[in-house]
Amino acid sequence: MAAVEVRNGYKYYGSKSNPKIVLNQLNMNVMRGSIYGLLGASGCGKTTLLSCIVGQRRLNGGEVVVLGAKPGEPGSGVPGSRVGFMPQEIALVEEMTVKETIFYFGRIYGLTDERIREKFKLLKELLQLPPARQMIKQCSGGQQRRLSFACAMIHDPELLILDEPTVGLDPMLREKIWDFLVETTRNSKLAVIITTHYIEEAKQANCIGLMRNGVLLAEDTPTNIMIKFGTQSIEDAFLILSQRQGNEDELAQIMDHNKNQALPAAVLPPEVIDTHEPNMPEKQPIPFEEPLNENRKKIFFTTKGRVKALMTKNFVQLFRQPSGIIFMLLFPIIQLTCFYLAIGKTPTNLEIGVYSGEVENYGECFDENLVTVYKDSDNESCLFNKLSCRYIRVLGDDVATRKYYASEADALNDAKRATTVGYLHFAQNFSDSILSVMEDGIHSSDGAVDHAELSIHIDMTDQQVAYFMQRKLRDKFSTFMRSVVKDCNVSTAIVDLPVQFQEPIFGSTDIEFQQYCAPGVVMTMVFFLATLMTAAVFISERMDGIWDRTLLAGVSATEMLWAHLLTQLIIMALQSFEVIMYIGLVFDTYNNGDTTTLIGLLTLTAFCGMLFGLFISVFCKSHTEANFVATGAFYPMIILCGLLWPLESMPQFLQDLVMVLPFTIPSISARNVIEKGWSITHEKVYNGFLVMAGWTIIFFVLCLIGIRRKA
């Protein structure tokens, strides 16, 4: 009975209009209880053919039937536990030990731990596997290949497909593997398809298929092939057959001719000898064949066991990589530390020039005997002396270090050379002018008003520093004037602006920029950390072939997705807890609301970021492409979420648009919890959860569609 039948198999890569034909009207039969050696030069299409047999790829034309069913049909067990597949690449998780790898494959195939232990013992001896606790990355290439072979065998499949299993193995071990395969197929219904570059070792196969340029040139027993061609070796027979097939150009012409047809006709040259007599009607539907009893159980093996095995693998993979732990747990700490130390603090080490026309020697400003405000002889009014000295003393060095100048030109020169952030200028008659403005009020002359001013010339190119200086110098001037009028027994109301900011409704008068942008910064940070980590893990898995191998073991795309989601959810919750605790305890930030609500929102944000990473990894082919997408998304999201500049300043259409982005409303919600102490029942808090949940669902659905398509 046939285990595998391929009829008129046709497969191309590329587009329909410009196909690269890899399999061309290929017919193949693999019997149960036999070894089929698939031989051919590199690039002739062997791996493509195998991938169509295991259901990893689909033929563009023709039919393939494996163990009585079409690969991929529900209940066929292909891909799944009826087939064992050893791909050409190693496709094992480097961070796992030998034993963990065997248990991982055993469990996703649905074996009990007891059975896995038994099989492990057997295979360990047979394949001389490395010690159970040895990590894969510490194994030699040959050891990894043997382990990969053991993983394909662990569940006693009905069909075993081995793509170059003996590459890099020593002749003794190669012989041992062949002996094992011969012995097993002789005593069971196991069918084996094996590709190899060592043509002569295929002599031990029951049947050989010689392939060239996507065409099966011959299919027969090794002995028959040698007899037919009168050669002593299969290699010589293959050479003769290849020459007979005609030169490459001829074949290419035929293939070109067939490009424009939906399903090209066979291009087998007339010399091709198919010595095998398949005895098979051309287009008869092939009846569905029930899987063996024990395998049926495995096909319907519960999702729970698989998800558990996948989750264990994910955790091992993450925590055995030092970069994984650093990324997940240390990076948030490093980034938060940078943020809290660098953003929103008071600028220091600034220098400001001071020029006072009424002071000749600045040392006298600090003379303890200097009196700047005193009463006149009849004690009626005040007299002022060198008031600029008083302001200089009030100013101190805490805003900026004062640098004194003998002329305004010198002060200006230094400011222009940017050695100071600007300078203060007091007129020669500053004190007298203030007195006259105070006494004459609205009748003061323009000249007096001008000279009573403190003129500040400042470098506005560094806006934050300039705003800081403006605010501080104004505050200091207000303090200075209040103290002056107080000394004169005049009400301070005359120097206060008739505008007073009362106790704020929410927050405090001295709220810092840091407090304002912290929620947005923390959210974007956890989101993009999760994005990058997930994209990196998934793309590596796919490139290493682990993804495909897991899917071929019968794990569904949904199971893979769930396993990753659950693993990440645990990690994200841990990370969110760590972040909240760290900024609360180390940086002493306050939270007027509920901490659990914040942890919840942050976990949801990280989860959404993870799904975004998954989405990127599903649709990007390489790490580079994924990094471009993640970085490309990072800046627009940060710039548009209102973190750096108020949303209200954007054009209306943009304001409407950014409201649906993942960080805009959620970061406002977080701020509402922290500053206003609102709970999750408040509309302006739960709407942040709704937006984030919405994006989570969108990414989840897109990932599911993408993964299913790829699976």
* Binding residues for ligand ATP (CB under 6 A): 13, 20, 22, 40, 42-48, 88
* Of 88 and 221, CB closest to ligand ATP: 88
Interatomic CA distance for residues 222 and 228, integer angstroms: 10
Which lies closer to ligand ATP via its Cβ, residue 38 or residue 160? 38
Q: Which residues of 579-596 are buried (b: 16+ CB within 10 A; e: fewer)?
A: bbebbeeeeeeebebeee
Rounded to the nearest whole angstrom, what is the least distance from the CB of residue 50 to ligand ATP in the complex? 8
Closer to ligand ATP at the Cβ: 46 or 119?
46
Instruction: Between 156 and 219, name the residue whose CB sits nearer to ligand ATP.
Output: 219
- Shortest separation between residue 55's beta carbon and ligand ATP, angstroms: 16
Mention every residue, 6+ apart, whose C-beta is less than 8 A from residue 584.
591, 595
Q: Which residue, among 320, 325, 291, has the nearest Cα to 80 in the 3D structure?
A: 291
Q: Indicate left, alpha or beta for 401 from its phi (over 0: left) and psi (-120 to 50: alpha).
A: beta
In angstroms, what is the minimal distance from the CB of 222 to ligand ATP? 20
- To ligand ATP, the closest distance from the beta carbon of 213 in angstroms equals 9
How many Å apart are CA 310 and CA 109, to the nearest integer?
A: 12
Burial label for 315, CB within 10 Å (0-12, 13-18, 19+), is middle
Closest distance to ligand ATP from the beta carbon of 592 (Å): 57
**Max Cα separation, the chain?**
138
Q: Is the CB of 47 or the CB of 568 nearer to ligand ATP? A: 47
Q: 172 Cβ partners below 8 Å, 6+ apart?
A: none
Strand 351-356 versus strand 422-426 pairing type:
parallel
In the bound state with ligand ATP, the residue whose beta carbon lies nearer, of 57 and 107, is 57
Helix or strand run (H / E) with residue 30: strand 19-31
Minimum distance of ligand ATP from residue 14's CB (angstroms)? 6
For the bound state, the minimum distance from the C-beta of residue 259 to ligand ATP, rounded and expressed in Å, comes to 15
Could you tell me the smallest distance in angstroms from the CB atom of residue 11 to ligand ATP? 9
Q: How near is the Cβ of 42 to ligand ATP at its closest, in Å?
A: 3
Considering beta carbons, is residue 42 or 247 the nearer one to ligand ATP? Answer: 42
Q: Return the number of the residue (48 or 317) whose C-beta is nearest ligand ATP.
A: 48
Taking the complex as a whole, how short is the minimal distance between the CB of residue 9 and ligand ATP, in angstroms? 12
CA distance 27 to 41: 18
Radius of gyration of the chain (CA): 40
Least CB distance to ligand ATP at residue 543 (A): 13
String of DSSP letters for 506-541: SS-TT--HHHHHHHHHHHHHHHHHHHHHHHHHHHHH
What is the closest distance, in whole angstroms, from the C-beta atom of residue 232 to ligand ATP in the complex?
Answer: 25
Helices (H), 544-651: 546-552, 557-585, 595-619, 623-640
Strand partners, 23: 11
Q: Which is nearer to ligand ATP, 14 or 632 (CB)?
A: 14
* Cα–Cα nearest to 518, from 341, 660, 659: 341
Q: How far is the CB of 644 from ligand ATP (least distance, A)?
A: 44
Query: In the chain, what are the helix, strand and coil shares in percent, each to the nearest 5?
Result: 55, 15, 35
3-state secondary structure of 315: helix
Strands (E), 357-426: 373-375, 382-384, 401-404, 422-426
Q: How far, CA to CA in Å, does 372 sit from each of 385, 394, 395, 455, 485? A: 4, 13, 15, 20, 12
Taking each helix axis from N to C end, the angle separating 331-342 and 513-543, rounded to the nearest 10 degrees, works out to 150
For ligand ATP, give the closer residue by CB, 141 or 632. Answer: 141
Nearer to ligand ATP, 5 or 164 (CB): 164
Pick from 547, 670, 519, 538: nearest CA to 611: 538
Could you tell me which residues come within 8 angstroms of residue 339 by beta carbon, excluding any fewer than 6 positions away?
514, 518, 521, 525
- Closest CB to ligand ATP among residues 214, 554: 214
* CB nearer to ligand ATP: pick between 26 and 102: 26
Shortest spacing between CB 43 and ligand ATP, in angstroms: 4
- Is the Cβ of residue 44 or residue 665 nearer to ligand ATP in the bound state? 44
Q: 191, 31 in Cβ contact below 8 A?
A: yes
Q: Kindly tell me the sign of the dihedral angle through the C-alpha atoms of 543, 549, 551, 557.
A: negative
